[in-house]
Amino acid sequence: MKSERTQVGIIGAGPSGLLLSQVLHLEGIDSVILERRTQDYVLGRIRAGVLEQGLADMLRQAGVGARMDAEGEVHHGFDIAFGGGRLHIDLAGPTGGKTVMIYGQTEITRDLFAARERMGGRIVHEAEDVTPHDIDGDAPYLTFSRNGENHRLDCDFIAGCDGFHGVSRRSMPADVLKTYEKVYPFGWLGVLSETPPVSEELIYASHDRGFALCSLRSRVLSRYYVQCPLDDDVANWPDEKFWNELKTRLPADAAARLVTGPSIEKSIAPLRSFVTEPLRHGRLFLAGDAAHIVPPTGAKGLNLAASDIFFLSRGLIAHYRQDDDRGLETYSAKALARVWKAERFSWSMTKLLHVFPEDGAFDLKMQRAELDYLAGSSVAQAAMAENYVGLPYE
């Protein structure tokens, strides 16, 4: 068994694990990331696209914001299309100038990998059977295997940044862990295409045939989604069928402007709301998708990972810098307070914009009344804007 030691053992090299490692490194705190996949595999996953100001600021402070600021797009609002019209939600006006940054999660992950490599960060790829041990004691450790060799990583703390299907949440004692889940009766079929976006800003569309979203990664790379049945299969969606369905669900002017092209990525993501409580047990801390999942309607998944890392990194830094554990002791409560508000927003946006198969005539009337009320109320629009740009890290 090959052994090594670090201060913080991190499971997972997604945005959560990479950002935590980078922030800790800048404070002189050593970490090792154990990732079960290759770097190419991690970079091959197409996911989030909308960054709250809090995440964008964290990336800048972590020294990985330059390409985002050069290539990303700052958006001051987005549209909601329904009943043949379009409602513009102004973000900056009601929030004192707050905006969102459009910059793909893939690029964030690429920037973080590059920074970690530049600064000598230690990431073990293709680490198999990563297992936390002695999380209740003061000398936790991780075991894993790689290329048939067994390894042990001794550490002071373990950060479970291994996503929804990871090992860390499962390592919390069953009598301690409480989970809350809602699985939605539909999924999102997503397409990435090297085509100019259909509009300057995002369009969220509510339509009798189902939800649709027009997003982007740049002026030459577009990201589109349509709501699809939970048991649907990408094989049922040749490009032409996807483009025709998307056009059907968009307002006529957007449909007429839509530039179609071959999909370079096509996948179906299930939608669920999920929260774990607590986010800490002993020396094990959960962060990001390992701790919670939101339906992507509110563009909160990646952004919640950022606020978790903000709270967790400050707790770890205070521990090592001032021998002060208050941040670690309050991490779970602080992170969860923000998580639940984002769960609420993501759930409400999903309820507002999707067709729920079980809904009856009254439910459909309620959904339309919600949209009509939103369209007629600057206060309701301000509330939506406040949540979309991201609630404070407090």
What are the residue numbers of the active site? Answer: 75, 204, 296, 300, 388
Residue 294 interacts with ligand PHB (CB under 6 A)? no
Residue closer to ligand FAS, measured from CB, 13 or 317: 13
Q: Is 216 exposed, middle or buried (0-12, 13-18, 19+ CB in 10 A)?
A: buried
Q: What residues numbered 187-226 form the site for ligand PHB, per CB under 6 A?
A: 202, 215, 223
Residue 164 Cβ vs ligand FAS, minimum distance, rounded to whole Å? 6
Binds ligand PHB (CB under 6 A): choice among 8, 271, 299, 304: 299
Residue 339, phi then psi, degrees to nearest 5? -60, -50
Residue 225 Cβ vs ligand FAS, minimum distance, rounded to whole Å? 8
Binds ligand PHB (CB under 6 A): choice among 11, 42, 48, 80: 48
Q: Alpha-carbon distance 63 to 204, whole Å?
A: 32
Binds ligand PHB (CB under 6 A): choice among 19, 50, 55, 205: 50
Please check whether residue 154 is in contact with residue 139, taking contact to mean a CB–CB distance below 8 angstroms. yes
Convert residues 291-310 into a mask of x (bound to ligand FAS by CB under 6 A) and - (unbound). Answer: -----x--xxxx--x-----
Residue closer to ligand PHB, measured from CB, 276 or 297: 297
Of the candidates 338, 224, 346, the residue with the CA atom closest to the CA atom of residue 293: 346
Residue 296 interacts with ligand PHB (CB under 6 A)? yes
Q: Alpha-carbon distance 192 to 104, whole Å?
A: 11
Please check whether residue 36 is in contact with residue 126, taking contact to mean a CB–CB distance below 8 angstroms. yes
Give every CB contact of residue 48 below 8 A, 6+ residues apart in sequence: 104, 105, 296, 299, 301, 302, 303
Of the candidates 204, 172, 176, 187, the residue with the CA atom closest to the CA atom of residue 272: 187
Residue 12 interacts with ligand FAS (CB under 6 A)? yes
Q: What residues numbered 306-335 form the site for ligand FAS, per CB under 6 A?
A: none
Residue 288 Cβ vs ligand FAS, minimum distance, rounded to whole Å? 2
Chain centroid to CA 210: 23
297 binds, among ligand PHB, ligand FAS, none (CB under 5 to 8 A by kind): ligand PHB
Please check whether residue 129 is in contact with residue 34, taking contact to mean a CB–CB distance below 8 angstroms. no
Give the binding site for ligand FAS (CB under 6 A). Answer: 11-17, 34-37, 42, 47-49, 105, 127, 130, 161-163, 165-167, 269, 288-289, 296, 299-302, 305
